[in-house]
Structure 1
Amino acid sequence: MISSRTGFPQEASKLEAEFTFVRELGRGGAAIVYLAHDRELDREVAIKLIRSPLAEDEETLLRFAREAKTAARLQHPHIVAVHSVKRLGDGGLALVMQYIPGRTLKRAIQEDGPFPFERAEAVLRQIGSALTYAHSRGVIHRDVKPENIFLDERSDDALLADFGIARTADRATGLTLAGVTLGTPAYMAPEQIDGTGVDARSDLFSLALLTWEMLTGEAPWEGESLYTVIYKQKHEILPSVREFRPDVPFHLRLVIEKALQKKPDQRFPDAAALLGALDEYRSASAWRRWRSALAMRQRVSPATPPPPTGDEIEAVLPETRVNAAETIRYQRPTGEAKAVEPIVAASLEAEEDTQLRASRRSLFARRPGLKGAAVALALLLITGLGATLSALNPGLLPSGSAEAPVIAGSGESPATGSSGALASG
């Protein structure tokens, strides 16, 4: 209920002794976030209040309490800090958090379009650093998406927020039941959709998806229904970033494609490895190692099962009616076909070979003497081989003369530089 005196919810009035509410910053399905002024410490803060209809929901309150406790453990320059938790008289909760002036990553993409490569990589590195820190403390975020990343307008730094459905490795919470999934379908890893085996690699899958969005300017599976998104997230591969940005740097594309592998054991083992690959994949030798490893992993996959019909979906997801970009709780389907083996675009090898050939041509262009030396060496070896064969068996060559080789494709004799063959003898 809105207070007629302040224009803010009545829950906010219970905090007026400490805070002056300024304006609403945003709202989601479970909470509203306000900008407020902390009079005691003379600083701006963000206050998250549970929306009135959910204030009596025990699970929602437990999620908020867990978010506060989890986030309070994480002190990192790229994680939004939680300053305190306020218990309200009606049993509700308010989270007092660090205020980040600026925009969410989602809004920045919508307003600015695809990010420059350097800016996208900076966000990837900063959020990867935040996840490295959180994972090292046993915290899996499980809802990494552009709406939960804030860009500080003062520094353009990216900060990760909303640990409301994070899972801690050191204790069971009972909030995620068997066969029940928490998360945002458009950014969830296949194993998270199944509700099994979620770990740090699941967060990396989500991080790769939002990096793909930064580079393309489009949300993953944009325009698709919730049920189609769930199906495609498990069985289909997003188009390569290169289809949208042909000049995307190799190291960015390879990191995204590896982190988006459907099987967790084919992704990076942790966020630190992903960050290290951003530097490692800049070299041609790393590209060759990636290609070789990929060729060993690829196998002929069984045919992808057809998408389930509307009736089949309704049978397993009877009450779900939300957008695929929203955080949801739903009952997962059972007996689904196993996800197929991902195949990274074959153009990767062709492009790499083209770049390596271009590099060799560039080397010969810079040092023309190398090409002449290579030709002379080839001539010497071939002539010597012919002489040896002739000495061993004179019948192998016509008597009186032998033809010197012509360099394939050149039409020139290596000795004279003119067209035709050079007679010896």
Structure 2
Amino acid sequence: MTDSSPAPDSPPEFLDPPEAAGELGRLGPYRVIELLGQGGMGHVYRAQDTRLQRTVALKVMNERFAKSPNSRKRIVEEARSMAAVHHDNVATLFEVGQRNGTPFLAMELLHGATLEQLLQSGRRFTTDEIITIADQVALGLEAAHDRGIIHRDIKPANLWIQSPSERVKILDFGLAVAGSMVQGMARGDSVVGTPGYLSPEQARNETVDERTDLYSLGVVLYEMFAGKVPLLAPNTPTQLVNILCREPLPLSQRQRDGVPVEVPEPLERLIMRLLSKEPGARYETVGHFRKALQAVSEEIQLALQAELAIQIDPGAGSASGSVSPDAANVSVAAKPTGTRPMGMFVAGGLAVAVLIGGGVWWMLRDGTPEEKAEVASIAEEPPAVLAAGLGALQLTGNVVSDPAVPVGEVARFRLQLTNQAESAETDPRVQYSQAGQVARITTFLQQEGQLKRKAPAFPRAFSPKQLPAPGETQSIEIQFLTTNMALEPFDVIFELQSPAGASVDSIVSRFEIVENLQSGDLLGFNTIRTRAGKGADTFVRRGSTEDFGKQPALVVHRSGEKQGNVWSIAFLRFDLSQLDPPTGSESDSVSSVLQRIDRSVLLLSMAAESHPGAGRITVHGWPSDLRTPDGVGTQDWQETGAGHLTFENSPVPPDMDGLIPLGELEFDNSGEGLKDQPDGIRFISKALDDFLRSSPGVVTLVLSQEGWLDDPTRFNSRDRLPELAPGLAVRWKTD
């Protein structure tokens, strides 16, 4: 995103024509200025948000990928993953949308280069710089992992080094996976990631957790020292075999440009541990890794200080107390490191360094017993965290959750952790203040009649500082995806554990996985449009007697005094007799056939110039026995001419009395991302199913705006395009 690439010969088709000089075109509210770069999935442009007057980077998917529903879904998942993480070491996402069928992301515009670009340019990083980069990447990953998100594609191309601050930003959460989504990536699905940086569990297509990101980070650190990834092969299949079967050559045995790689032994140990084949041999969490990294940095600094040769005149400190004139001349010889520190973990000052490097030994040799005990305590390991010492921590209150979660969606739970310690002696924050991890909450799922099993969400870990203070309660959100879970009830068990896995407390909730009609494929459904049979669609506007039945859009609007108290309401009529009846019921009456409706979905598509944001629509059913003041019924109204609906003669004033409430339809049209998406908006409710079952065969649905919006909501009507007309999808019950 630094040096721009040459602009294409002609603007891409997904861009609207330019409206001013100096721009390639328009993408919704964005002025697209220039092409910054391109990759396998898409292009990145410099653009200006005309609403907030800020410069952004627009990541736009390639047209050939945009044609694939899976690719469009992936870029949306990337956006959701990035938007969920707010941290200085993660690139900020402003907006996700679609325009002319092309998904895009609006992100902060970064200055600098990727780590890959810097490595390819020949830049060599010092040990201090590598440690700093590792720590910043770990901080960003820790923020993502706290949200239940695994990146799964950590590599130099996805690590941005800002200029001039050299702050690291993690890019591209396009392969990120939230919580239990890893279950859906188990055996049978494709291997996902970049071959050189894949973890062994990714190569085996197994369940992954946060330790996968640690493995990939280890590959990056190895490459920064050696100039190449640890296991390199000429093709992907061989690369996967190497990752699974070969051990990487230790860094100290590598050569770079014919010269042995110089790497401090403690840091080499840390990197090689990250590259362990089995996740259990790596660090348990990113927090544990950061603690180990800090210890390694300090060990390296102590080793450097130990190499200082301090020569003091033997005459100094004589019994007479006189000091030789040369005693103050201290000769210090230090091995050149060639490092340019980035300000991370560096000991502060030569005097302190000498005290740490040589003074500890001096005190242990000649110090008082008290001094010896104090210094010896520095090297003591922190006490092991025992379940018995965590008795003051309890999971309290009721778990707040959605009792029904559509399969493939995120199950969210909120619970409370309380610290009931009455003194410092029983407060785990004090007792285990030196521990990296004090407690964790592990999630289990249990189906009726079966043993509990660990849920795909990895444990939520707590350091001493992350625990609530005595007498306080901390609200905690745990979430995981329900991909590939059975459509049945589950008990979800949240168990408070010690770091070793011993149980301290637990709390149980219950939820049910239901089918996903909101975004899943409508397999087995029959669809009719307002174009079929006696179908029709129109809208009415308060204060107008005009017939709007032949307009290309249906307007639903409600605004206040500043906009003139506008109120527009849409009417959709469907002829259910046009549905293909279930097998064996061809000769049955319409009413008996409709009794066999299992589920139904109202399908709408957003029209141009609709409200560019979130909104809610209330859906009502017009009962067959309710007639307008003019005597018009649900089956009789016309779009135009005699019998056409107006606001005053429709069944809506003054407060929709007499209509049957069916529920609320929510949408988010940010950046006009829903524009002209066929059936891009769905409304599902059991009340809609019941309304259709009890109907005489021709039904009218009424749409009104919930809340006040300055801009109207516009849905495509049957007069726009056949595939964009309002639809009603119905599935029959099976015998």
Q: Do the two structures share a fold, i.e. TM-score over 0.5?
A: yes
Distance 1:100 1:282 in 2: 29
- Residue by residue, what CA displacement relative to the aligned partner does 1:238-288 show, whole Å, maximum 9, x if unpaired? 222223455422332121011100111000001111111012235779xxx
Structure-1 residue corresponding to 2:219:
209
Distance 2:156 2:247 in 1: 20
Distance 1:177 1:261 in 2: 21
Matched, 1:266 2:269: no
Matched, 1:94 2:104: yes
Match for 1:188 among 198, 220, 226?
198
Three-state SS of the structure 2 residue aligned to 1:25 is: strand
Contact 2:27/2:99 (CA < 8 Å) preserved in 1? no
Match for 1:82 among 78, 93, 96?
93
Three-state SS of the structure 2 residue aligned to 1:159 is: strand
Contact 1:32/1:51 (CA < 8 Å) preserved in 2? yes
Structure-2 residue corresponding to 1:11:
14
Contact 1:103/1:152 (CA < 8 Å) preserved in 2? yes
Distance 2:186 2:235 in 1: 24
Match for 2:45 among 34, 45, 52?
34
Three-state SS of the structure 2 residue aligned to 1:261 is: coil
Matched, 1:118 2:112: no
User: Structure 1 residues 222 and 169 mapped into 2: Cα distance closer, same or farther (>3 Å)?
Assistant: same
Match for 2:141 among 121, 125, 131?
131
1:32 shift after superposition:
1.3
Structure-2 residue corresponding to 1:381:
none
Structure-2 residue corresponding to 1:229:
239
Matched, 1:276 2:279: no
1:63 shift after superposition:
0.4
Task: Give the counterpart letter for 1:164 in structure 2.
Answer: G
1:41 shift after superposition:
2.3
Three-state SS of the structure 1 residue aligned to 2:154 is: coil
Distance 1:113 1:284 in 2: 26
Aligned residues: 287
User: Structure 1 residues 282 and 148 mapped into 2: Cα distance closer, same or farther (>3 Å)?
Assistant: closer
User: Structure 1 residues 226 and 15 mapped into 2: Cα distance closer, same or farther (>3 Å)?
Assistant: same
Task: Give the counterpart letter for 1:183 in structure 2.
Answer: G
Structure-2 residue corresponding to 1:55:
66
Structure-2 residue corresponding to 1:67:
78
Distance 1:283 1:123 in 2: 16
1:143 shift after superposition:
0.7
User: Structure 1 residues 18 and 184 mapped into 2: Cα distance closer, same or farther (>3 Å)?
Assistant: same
Matched, 1:146 2:156: yes
1:177 shift after superposition:
6.7
Distance 1:176 1:93 in 2: 27
Larger fraction in strand: 2
State TM-score, norm by structure 2: 0.37
Instruction: Give 1:159-198 correspondences, 5 Å limit.
Output: 159-169=169-179, 178-198=188-208
Task: Give the counterpart letter for 2:227 in structure 1.
Answer: G
1:178 shift after superposition:
2.4
Contact 1:110/1:217 (CA < 8 Å) preserved in 2? no
Distance 1:235 1:193 in 2: 11
Three-state SS of the structure 2 residue aligned to 1:181 is: coil
Instruction: Give 1:278-293 correspondences, 5 Å limit.
Output: 278-281=293-296
1:165 shift after superposition:
1.3
Contact 1:140/1:166 (CA < 8 Å) preserved in 2? yes
1:184 shift after superposition:
0.7
Task: Give the counterpart letter for 1:151 in structure 2.
Answer: I
Larger fraction in helix: 1
User: Structure 1 residues 179 and 264 mapped into 2: Cα distance closer, same or farther (>3 Å)?
Assistant: same
User: Structure 1 residues 16 and 87 mapped into 2: Cα distance closer, same or farther (>3 Å)?
Assistant: closer
Contact 1:68/1:85 (CA < 8 Å) preserved in 2? yes
- Residue by residue, what CA displacement relative to the aligned partner does 1:195-230 show, whole Å, maximum 9, x if unpaired? 102110011000010111112222444462222211
Task: Give the counterpart letter for 1:113 in structure 2.
Answer: R
Task: Give the counterpart letter for 2:12 in structure 1.
Answer: P
Distance 1:173 1:68 in 2: 21
Distance 2:214 2:192 in 1: 16
Distance 1:227 1:41 in 2: 48
Distance 2:201 2:247 in 1: 15
User: Structure 1 residues 177 and 101 mapped into 2: Cα distance closer, same or farther (>3 Å)?
Assistant: farther
Three-state SS of the structure 2 residue aligned to 1:182 is: coil
Distance 1:282 1:37 in 2: 42
Distance 1:191 1:223 in 2: 18
User: Structure 1 residues 215 and 233 mapped into 2: Cα distance closer, same or farther (>3 Å)?
Assistant: same
Match for 1:253 among 252, 268, 281?
268
Contact 1:113/1:217 (CA < 8 Å) preserved in 2? no
User: Structure 1 residues 170 and 198 mapped into 2: Cα distance closer, same or farther (>3 Å)?
Assistant: closer
Three-state SS of the structure 2 residue aligned to 1:103 is: strand
Distance 1:86 1:267 in 2: 38
User: Structure 1 residues 284 and 116 mapped into 2: Cα distance closer, same or farther (>3 Å)?
Assistant: closer
Structure-2 residue corresponding to 1:105:
115
User: Structure 1 residues 279 and 172 mapped into 2: Cα distance closer, same or farther (>3 Å)?
Assistant: closer
- Work out the percentage of aligned pairs sharing the same amino acid: 27
Contact 2:183/2:207 (CA < 8 Å) preserved in 1? no
User: Gapped runs of 5+ residues in structure 2?
Assistant: 1-6, 17-24, 301-356, 366-735
Which is worse superposed, 141-150 or 6-15? 6-15
Distance 1:282 1:151 in 2: 21
User: Structure 1 residues 28 and 282 mapped into 2: Cα distance closer, same or farther (>3 Å)?
Assistant: closer
Distance 1:152 1:198 in 2: 30
Which is worse superposed, 225-234 or 242-251? 242-251
Task: Give the counterpart letter for 2:295 in structure 1.
Answer: E
Greater Cα radius of gyration, structure 1 or 2: 2
- Residue by residue, what CA displacement relative to the aligned partner does 1:326-372 show, whole Å, maximum 9, x if unpaired? xxxxxxxxxxxxxxxxxxxxxxxxxxxxxxxxxxxx98xx99xx9xx
User: Gapped runs of 5+ residues in structure 1?
Assistant: 286-361, 371-425
Distance 1:258 1:172 in 2: 23
Contact 2:150/2:178 (CA < 8 Å) preserved in 1? yes
Contact 2:28/2:99 (CA < 8 Å) preserved in 1? no
Structure-2 residue corresponding to 1:316:
none
